[in-house]
Each structure stands twice: as structure tokens, then as C-alpha cells.
């Protein structure tokens, strides 16, 4: 079974630009969550999508947005990039199977804002 | 407001020893308590998890102990091996599937 894939793996942008990151979940998983990981703040929840609907949202400004497509693939967008947006962005797909919860993270997209 | 407090920040254990990482949470609405393992350059991987109706769960060398009244849970790694060297995160999940992570513990197992 293919794992969670994220593209691109590395990205360098300048302040003020925007960026779109992509995540393809495990086949059959309908829930996709996004996280930001930085050395200072650790892993922080951005948002979660389930069946194309945003179900949960973390405490991030409106510059961070996302969406999910009918095939469960998800994208997140960051507009007007700031230096502080430099981070590893992780997505995870999850599902409840036979009453047990399974979740898999992708390898992440390393975003550097200069 | 930090809803999950994890300690220690870093831990060094001799090979064959027991590694213990602790977490404390504040909100009693959480219904799922997972631990994640992350190696450098990789995303976190769900290692083991427990629900609040159980006080202990064991999977191989990994054990979660859960104390509902104290709102604490811990990860024990028995017979720690150099391959266990990684960063470990505790987390809490509510019924809406929102996951809140601890700050992480960097574990180093001495060969």
C-alpha cells in the first residue's frame, strides 16, 4: 500500500509570495490533516479535512488555507509569506477501521522563506 | 495555553535500560492518547495509543501507562536499543479528531 505523499519536498520562497503544497493520502483514507513543525513551536495543528469539508481548524491566521478534492487529495496554501512561515509542513491521513484508528504522516514539505 | 506538557525535553539512556517519557494534559474531553516516534528527515509515525478506559497498554517493548485521575500518561520503552534513538511526541485527541502534540523528547540510547 502506497504511503502518504507530499509534494514538493523542498521549497524556497521569498517574503510576500504565496505557496501551494500538495498531499495525497493513503488509499481509502478520507481524512487529511495538516501540521506545521518548527523547532520553537513544535508540531502545531493547522486544519483537518474530511470528505472535502474542513472539520477542524487550528489557531493560524487566515493566510493559511486548504482544501480537499473528491479523491481525498488535499492542498494547503499560504499567502503573503512571512519569514516565520519557514517550517516543515506535514500532512497526515487517517481513518477508523474496525473501530481502531490508523494515521500515517507524509515526509513533509520543507518550506524556507527568505 | 499549553494543553499538553511533555517531559523531559531530552533523555539519554544506556542500551538495555528503560526509557520513560511523561505527559500531562489539562482537558478531560480528550478521548485518545497517542505517542509518535519521529526520525530525522521523516514525518512522525504513530507508535502506540491508549483510550481513557484502559490504564495500561503494551505492544512489544513499548508500554503506555495512563492515570486518568492525575491526567497523566507515560511511555515506557523496555530494553532500549540504539535504533530507538528518535524524538518522541505525546499527543491528545478530542472527539473532533483535532490532535494536540507535546513539545517532544529527544531520546538518545547509548550503544
Q: What is the DSSP letter of A2?
A: -
- Residue A96: the pLDDT is 77
Tens digits of residue pLDDT in A87-96: 999 999 998 7
User: What is the mean pLDDT of the segment spanning A14-39?
Assistant: 95
User: A12-26, A85-99, A100-114 — which one is most confidently predicted on average?
Assistant: A12-26
- Residue B1: the pLDDT is 57
CB pairs under 8 A between A and B: 47
Find the helix or strand (DSSP H, E) in which A24 lies.
Answer: strand A19-24
Spell A55-87 as b/e; 16+ CB within 10 A means b: ebebebeeebbbebeeebebbbebeebeeebbb
Q: Closest Cα of chain B to A56: distance in Å?
A: 7
Residue A64's pLDDT band, with cuts at 50, 70 and 90, is very high
Residue A37 has pLDDT above 70, yes or no: yes
Look at the alpha carbons of A33, A34, A37, A40 in this order and tell me if their dihedral is positive or negative.
negative
Residue A22 has pLDDT above 90, yes or no: yes
Residues A90, A35: contact at Cβ < 8 Å?
Answer: yes
Instruction: Determine which of A32-46, A57-71, B6-20, B86-100 has the lowest per-residue pLDDT on average.
Output: B86-100
Profile chain B (111 residues) by mean pLDDT over runs of 10 residues: 88 98 89 93 92 93 95 97 97 83 96 91
Most B-contacting residue of A5, A10, A38, A43 (CB-CB within 10 A), to test interface: A43
Count of beta carbons in the 10 Å neighbourhood of residue B29:
10
Q: What is the mean pLDDT of chain A?
A: 93
Residues B10, B19: contact at Cβ < 8 Å?
Answer: no
Candidates B46, B97, B100; nearest CB to A31: B97
- Hunting for cell 521523516 — which residue is that? B42
- Residue A98: the pLDDT is 64
C-alpha distances in angstroms, B6 versus A24, A34, B9, B20, B27? 31, 22, 7, 11, 15
Find the helix or strand (DSSP H, E) in which B21 lies.
Answer: strand B19-25
Residues A49, A94: contact at Cβ < 8 Å?
Answer: no
Residues A109, B47: contact at Cβ < 8 Å?
Answer: no
- Chain B positions contacting chain A at CB under 8 Å are 32, 34, 41-46, 49, 89, 96-104
Q: Closest Cα of chain A to B80: distance in Å?
A: 24
Nearest CA in chain A to B95: A56
- Residue B30: the pLDDT is 86
- Residue A65: the pLDDT is 97
User: Which residues from chain B sit within 8 angstroms of residue A44, using beta carbons?
Assistant: 101
> Are the beta carbons of B97 and A43 separated by less than 8 Å?
no
Amino acid at each position: 500500500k502506497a504511503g502518504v505523499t507530499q509534494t514538493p519536498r523542498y521549497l524556497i520562497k521569498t517574503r510576500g509570495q504565496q505557496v501551494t503544497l500538495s498531499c495525497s493520502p493513503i488509499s481509502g483514507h478520507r481524512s487529511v490533516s495538516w501540521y506545521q513543525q518548527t523547532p520553537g513551536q513544535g508540531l502545531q495543528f493547522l486544519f483537518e479535512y474530511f470528505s472535502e469539508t474542513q472539520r477542524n481548524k487550528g489557531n493560524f491566521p487566515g493566510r493559511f488555507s486548504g482544501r480537499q478534492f473528491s479523491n481525498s487529495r488535499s492542498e494547503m496554501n499560504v499567502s503573503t509569506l512571512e519569514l516565520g512561515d519557514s517550517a516543515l509542513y506535514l500532512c497526515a491521513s487517517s481513518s477508523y477501521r474496525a473501530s481502531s484508528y490508523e494515521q500515517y504522516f507524509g515526509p513533509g514539505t520543507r518550506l524556507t522563506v527568505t | 495555553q499549553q494543553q499538553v506538557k511533555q517531559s523531559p525535553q531530552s533523555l539519554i539512556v544506556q542500551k538495555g535500560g528503560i526509557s520513560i517519557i511523561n505527559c500531562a494534559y489539562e482537558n478531560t474531553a480528550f478521548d485518545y492518547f497517542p505517542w509518535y516516534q519521529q526520525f530525522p528527515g521523516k514525518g512522525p509515525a504513530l507508535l502506540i495509543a491508549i483510550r481513557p478506559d484502559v490504564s495500561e497498554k503494551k505492544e512489544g517493548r513499548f508500554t503506555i501507562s495512563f492515570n486518568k485521575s492525575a491526567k497523566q500518561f507515560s511511555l515506557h520503552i523496555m530494553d532500549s536499543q540504539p535504533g530507538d534513538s528518535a524524538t518522541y511526541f505525546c499527543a491528545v485527541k478530542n472527539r473532533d479528531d483535532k490532535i494536540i502534540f507535546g513539545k517532544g523528547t529527544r531520546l538518545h540510547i547509548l550503544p
